[in-house]
């Protein structure tokens, strides 16, 4: 039977403390110390960690068996909170605007239950409180530090304010997008603005590139598969009467299928380089495809989803164009990931908004997902 966990006063207090004390990526020192204290208070000893921030611990069952990992991210965002909550951020310019405080409290709730019910499972559950998800670099740091070596499956969640509390979405479909960060640098021959014929200014070329890049989606991608190319920053020139010698722009690409990401990379370079050639300038493209799309292992997702009706309402997956570095763990072990409903009210703010509010009650659903998934995934791997 599925495990149902309650939102205890302790978990509510933990969540609100974490929300009020957010820290930026790779700077989560107080958060790390707090998590270690809470785990030790429940008889869970943190493992050695070569990283400056983040916590890894382990709960062992009643006998030997598989080793699985469960991850919660711990970093906040460089946002000034504007929620009016009485437990709003006390750290100026930093906010848990993506709900990582909910994730930490949920994983702690599951850890407390597992530590008190070791007789219910064989094997081991490694608890990974990961730094720097917002930079897309934290999972890679954990992997490189060897902290998930030997793990045979990884379990993760992300709260989602577009789902109501008490609901959960898990399945085999892509859930969060692959992420690319691109930048383009243009080098030309600057000149006096009154003598444009004596130079090869980059601004017209840049404008043509930005407009042409939008045709990659409209003319090369299937209308049935989401692909986004967004130019988000442009720069060039700083004097009113000088055609600049240099300019550039940067932005992001989001995709759900590897072949779409590869196609976008090829066409992007083609558009930029051929446009630069037509204008007689040089172009350099930096294409950082740093985060793959996130999808659960079909077998694990089906097994975990079967338990959900015992403690939450199972909802269809509504994919997000946001990225999630939990996808990096797929190179170590199969993954299972869920969206946990955290608000659901009409007009509520979404992730990364200064007015984002995740509700306390969602911690109980997240904790139940972690605990039930731990038992089910360990069973599947035996």
In DSSP terms, which residues pair with 178 in a beta bridge?
255
Q: Is residue 4 part of a domain?
A: no
Q: Do 146 and 17 belong to one domain? A: yes
- The tokens for 356 are 């984002």
- Contact, 46 vs 36, CB < 8 A? yes
Half-sphere exposure for 168 (CA within 13 Å, toward CB)? 31
Number of structural domains, the chain?
2
Last residue of a domain, one of 290, 308, 324: 290
Distances (CA, A) of 65 to 16, 68, 73, 128, 216: 35, 10, 26, 19, 49
DSSP type of residue 95: B
- Contact, 161 vs 351, CB < 8 A? yes
Q: Do 93 and 113 belong to one domain? A: yes
CATH code assigned at 259: 3.30.70.360
- Contact, 168 vs 340, CB < 8 A? yes
- Contact, 243 vs 193, CB < 8 A? yes
DSSP track, 31-78: HHHHHHHHHHHTT-PBPP--SSS-EEEEEE-SS---EEEEEEE---BS
Q: How much is the pLDDT for 60?
A: 98
Q: What is the 3-state secondary structure (H, E, C) of 311-359?
A: CCEECCCCCECCCCHHHHHHHCCCEEEEEEECCCCCCCCCCCCCCCCCC
- Contact, 141 vs 132, CB < 8 A? yes
DSSP type of residue 280: T
Q: Do 201 and 280 belong to one domain? A: yes
Q: Do 304 and 343 belong to one domain? A: yes
Last residue of a domain, one of 255, 271, 290: 290
Q: Do 15 and 144 belong to one domain? A: yes
Q: What H or E segment, with its residue span, contains residue 247?
A: strand 246-255
Q: Which domain holds residue 43?
A: 9-175+294-381
Q: Do 36 and 108 belong to one domain? A: yes
Q: Do 317 and 345 belong to one domain? A: yes
- Contact, 148 vs 126, CB < 8 A? yes
Last residue of a domain, one of 290, 311, 337: 290
Binding-site residues, in ranges, read 98, 100, 134, 158, 352
Q: How much is the pLDDT for 1?
A: 79
Q: Do 299 and 286 belong to one domain? A: no
Residues 6+ apart with CB under 8 A from 87: 16, 17, 19, 20
Distances (CA, A) of 132 to 53, 214, 325, 326, 379: 9, 31, 9, 11, 31
Tell me how far apart the alpha carbons of residues 250 and 284 are, in angstroms, rounded to a whole number. 12
Averaged over successive runs of 10 residues, the pLDDT of the chain (382 residues) comes to 94 98 98 98 98 98 98 98 98 98 98 98 98 97 98 98 98 96 98 96 97 97 96 97 98 97 98 98 97 97 98 97 97 98 97 98 98 98 94
Q: Do 231 and 316 belong to one domain? A: no
Q: Is residue 150 part of a domain?
A: yes
Global pTM reads: 0.94
Binding-site residues for Mn(2+), in ranges, read 98, 100, 134, 158, 352
Q: Do 283 and 334 belong to one domain? A: no
Tell me how far apart the alpha carbons of residues 312 and 166 are, in angstroms, rounded to a whole number. 5
Tell me how far apart the alpha carbons of residues 278 and 189 are, in angstroms, rounded to a whole number. 14
Half-sphere exposure for 6 (CA within 13 Å, toward CB)? 3
- The tokens for 322 are 């946001």
Q: How much is the pLDDT for 168?
A: 98
DSSP type of residue 201: -
Q: Do 283 and 301 belong to one domain? A: no
């Amino acid at each position: 039977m599925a495990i149902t966990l309650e939102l205890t006063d302790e978990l509510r207090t933990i969540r609100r403390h974490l929300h009020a004390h957010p820290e930026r990526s790779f700077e989560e020192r107080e958060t790390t110390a707090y998590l270690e204290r809470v785990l030790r208070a429940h008889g869970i000893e943190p493992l050695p960690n070569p990283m400056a921030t983040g916590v890894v611990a382990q709960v062992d069952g009643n006998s030997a068996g598989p080793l699985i990992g469960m991850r919660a991210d711990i970093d906040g965002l460089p946002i000034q909170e504007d929620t009016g909550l009485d437990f709003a951020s006390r750290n100026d310019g930093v906010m848990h605007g993506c709900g990582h405080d909910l994730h930490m409290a949920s994983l702690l709730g599951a850890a407390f239950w597992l530590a008190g019910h070791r007789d219910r499972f064989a094997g081991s559950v490694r608890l990974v409180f990961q730094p720097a998800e917002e930079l897309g670099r934290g999972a890679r740091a954990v992997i490189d530090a060897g902290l998930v070596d030997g793990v045979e499956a990884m379990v993760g969640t992300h709260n989602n304010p577009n789902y109501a509390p008490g609901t959960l979405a898990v399945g085999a479909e892509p859930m969060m997008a692959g992420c690319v960060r691109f930048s383009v640098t243009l080098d030309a021959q600057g000149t006096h603005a009154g003598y444009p014929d004596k130079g090869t200014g980059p601004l017209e070329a840049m404008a043509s590139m930005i407009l042409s890049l939008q045709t990659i989606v409209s003319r090369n991608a299937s209308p049935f598969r989401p692909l986004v190319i967004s130019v988000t920053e442009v720069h060039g020139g700083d004097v009113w009467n000088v055609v600049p010698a240099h300019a550039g722009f940067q932005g992001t690409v989001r995709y759900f299928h590897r072949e779409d990401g590869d196609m976008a990379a090829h066409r992007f370079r083609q558009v930029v380089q051929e446009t630069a050639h037509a204008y007689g300038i040089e172009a350099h493209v930096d294409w950082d495809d740093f985060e793959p799309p996130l999808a659960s292992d079909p077998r694990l997702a089906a097994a975990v989803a079967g338990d959900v009706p015992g403690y939450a309402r199972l909802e269809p997956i509504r994919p997000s164009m946001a990225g999630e570095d939990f996808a990096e763990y797929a190179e170590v072990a199969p993954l299972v990931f869920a969206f946990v409903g955290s608000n659901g009210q009409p007009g509520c703010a979404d992730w990364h908004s200064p007015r984002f509010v995740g509700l306390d009650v969602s911690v109980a659903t997240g904790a139940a997902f972690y605990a039930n998934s731990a038992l089910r995934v360990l069973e599947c791997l035996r």
